[in-house]
Chain A
Amino acid sequence: MVNSIFLQILTGLQLGAIYVLISLGLSLIFGTLGVVNFAHGAMYMLAAYLGVVISAAWGWEIAIVLVPAILFCLGLIMERGLIRHFYTRPHTDQILVTFGLAIVVQEALKWYFGANNLPYPTPDWGSGIARLHEVLPFLDGFVAYPKWRLIVTGVSLVTVAALFALLQFTTFGLVVRAGMRDAEMLRFLGINISKRFAIVFAVGVMIAGIAGVFGGPVTQVDPGVGMVFLVPSFLVVVIGGMGSLPGAVLASFLIGLAISFSADIPALANIIIYLIAIVILLFRPRGLMGQKGVME
């Protein structure tokens, strides 16, 4: 009994670990720039493909460093070259252009790599199973869990912590948080907010990149996977509260756990995330931790 509950919690955390990385980026970009990035799932997918290619060519250690770095640069280019020109245009145009980008990335990957799922093997040090009963005394008997899934969860938690530290304890973070609250005031104070927001955008894309390179082996690497993750991530952002980072974290793990615990009833597991979203929309439209008045 203890074992199965423990494993379900672990699976829930692992599912939430990928959602949290994608939705944190979404929420960060929305909170600072007011842009809903429909291409965010495509960025996750691109990172997974890059992970497959780079880890096969130069090894996993290189891929872990290089893929997020590439995604960071892509994010900068995307913001400076494309998104920036859309700040003054209607919201529908922002959505349309990021949606177009998502289609282009997806179709380009499909055209180059084909529509099939690419094999994405985990590295030697991350393969196999971890014998959890040897470390955790409260479990009885034999309890094993795939090592890579534990690593994904761990990486995700470290990334979340690092992002919060960046925003909470650095001057850069202070300025960004102030910008989220009142960008106009900050401009009056003579702070170059647009440069910092470009970096924020790039950080958001980079986090999706971390999710892609680590999450790829757990999920799938095919041209449809971007949209498969974008939809739940949107719901995470809605449930947690638009633009609220702690809300995104809370909602991701809530959804991960809900999917994990309802897995025995497939009819429910497929739609549980939507049901939670409906309940939230009806009874708490601003989301679990959303600020009053924001997108209500």
Chain B
Amino acid sequence: MSTPNSNFYKKDIVPVSIFALIFLTMPLWFSWIGGYGGLDTKIVIWVIFAVGFDLLLGYMGYLSFGHAAFFGTSAYVTGLMLLHYSDNIIPAFFMGVLAAVIMALIIGQLTLKRSGIYFSILTLAFGEMLHSLVLSTLQDWTGGDNGLTGLPTPMLFDLKMQGHNVYYLAVFIAIIMYYLARRIVRSPFGLMLSAIKTNPTRLEYTGVNVARYKLAGFVISAAYAGVAGALMIIYEPYVASEFMGWHLSGQVVIMSVIGGIGTLFGPMIGAAFMLYFENVASVALGGAWLLVLGLIFMFIVIFLPGGFVEAGRKVRARFFGGAS
């Protein structure tokens, strides 16, 4: 399996190149469709978050309602590092992601031993525990409700991390993360994750240590959330307490499901759609845009469980014959 042949790598070259091309050229055409500068960076960050979330939900079949815990932990640690240690983003970024991974190890130990339903409930609960800690017990460190303010401009050595600099940094990291996700999914390890989704009991009987694979899948997914959280602070040096809240966890759930889970690119489309929709629809609908989004989400869950990706497949099958 692991003998690399050229064919094996070729499978990744085309999709990753398309991905890179779209995002590297995005600043050129994004304003034509009504996007503002900065929204593109946010989309890239959320795309990273959604890809990692899909590894957990789409491939392993575990629905987390507490992924804000990892996004937020990383965001706060990144912010605190920038504030108290150095305005260089490299130590801040790595400490942020490391903190998210450690948090995932702890929460994973507590939540993963039970079934899927239990997992959803408990991730929501522990996510809210961290949210309430940030707002109350730890508020001397986190700034409580006001968030962590007064961060310096993040620097990459002598380069100010603003505007296009942040954008291209985020795209560079996103390309790597997307490539890694594709490799993970097709690796023996990824196969194990899919097997956990299909039949964990049978997998256990074949002598596989399922608990360890589950924890590994969970931690990897949390690391993606951590990368996204750290980048969010580098993009906009302010840590909002909402970064820990269930709303953020709910957002990544909604965008992944709308796009189509278990495909990696579905959640990316979902992320881009949701941020773009927020930007466009909040002008037309005001505060009701979230209501509309909720209705779209319910419609998709009820009638189109595969999301946009399934819709695309259906359309293709109808007009060009033969399902792909």
Contacts and interface: CB of A to CB of B under 8 A. Distances in A.
B125 A295 contact: no
Nearest to B128: A231
A36 interface: yes
A44 B294 CA distance: 19
Contacts of B302: 82, 85, 97
B287 A110 contact: yes
User: B121, B125, B133: which has the most chain A beta carbons within 10 Å?
Assistant: B121
B297 interface: yes
A108 B291 contact: yes
B125 A234 contact: yes
Given A108-B291, A296-B114, A234 B298 contact: no
A79 interface: no
Contacts of B287: 110-111
B301 A93 contact: yes
Contact of B121 (A36, A82, A282, A296): A36
Contact of B120 (A95, A108, A277, A278): A95
Q: How large is the interface on B (under 10, 10 to 19, 20 to 34, 35 or more residues)?
A: 35 or more
Contacts of B63: 92, 95-96
Contacts of B80: none
B132 interface: yes
B253 interface: yes
Interface string A105-127: 00110110000000000000000
B298 A97 contact: yes
A104 B301 CA distance: 13
Interface in B110-134: 110, 113-118, 120-122, 124-126, 128-129, 132-133
B38 interface: no
A97 B121 contact: no
A94 B305 CA distance: 11
A255 interface: no
Interface in A21-36: 36
Given A238-B121, A295-B115, A270 B137 contact: yes
Contacts of A270: 132-133, 136-137
A99 interface: yes
A190 interface: no
A interface, over-half SS: helix
A104 B118 contact: no
A91 B117 contact: yes
A200 interface: no
B131 to A, nearest CB: 10
A266 B144 CA distance: 14
A92 B122 contact: no
A11 to B, nearest CB: 19
B117 A111 contact: no
A103 interface: yes
B290 interface: yes
B297 to A, nearest CB: 5
Interface in A234-291: 234-235, 237-238, 242, 266-267, 270-271, 274, 277-278, 281-282, 285
A208 interface: no
B48 interface: no
B61 A111 contact: no
Given A36-B117, A285-B113, A296-B114, A104 B295 contact: yes
Contacts of B115: 91, 295
B49 interface: no
Contacts of A235: 125
A160 B291 CA distance: 34
A100 interface: yes
A101 interface: yes
A237 B114 CA distance: 14
Contacts of B161: none
User: B250, B293, B298: which has the most chain A beta carbons within 10 Å?
Assistant: B298
B57 interface: yes
A235 B125 CA distance: 7
Which 6 pairs across A and B sit closest by C-beta, in order of nearness? A107-B291, A100-B298, A103-B294, A274-B129, A104-B294, A267-B137
Given A235-B125, A238-B125, 12 more contacts: A36-B121, A92-B61, A93-B301, A107-B291, A108-B291, A110-B287, A227-B246, A231-B246, A271-B133, A274-B125, A274-B129, A295-B117
Interface of A: 36, 82, 85, 89-93, 95-97, 99-101, 103-104, 107-108, 110-111, 227, 231, 234-235, 237-238, 242, 266-267, 270-271, 274, 277-278, 281-282, 285, 295-296
Interface of B: 57, 61, 63, 65, 110, 113-118, 120-122, 124-126, 128-129, 132-133, 136-137, 246, 250, 253-254, 257, 287-288, 290-291, 293-295, 297-298, 301-302, 305
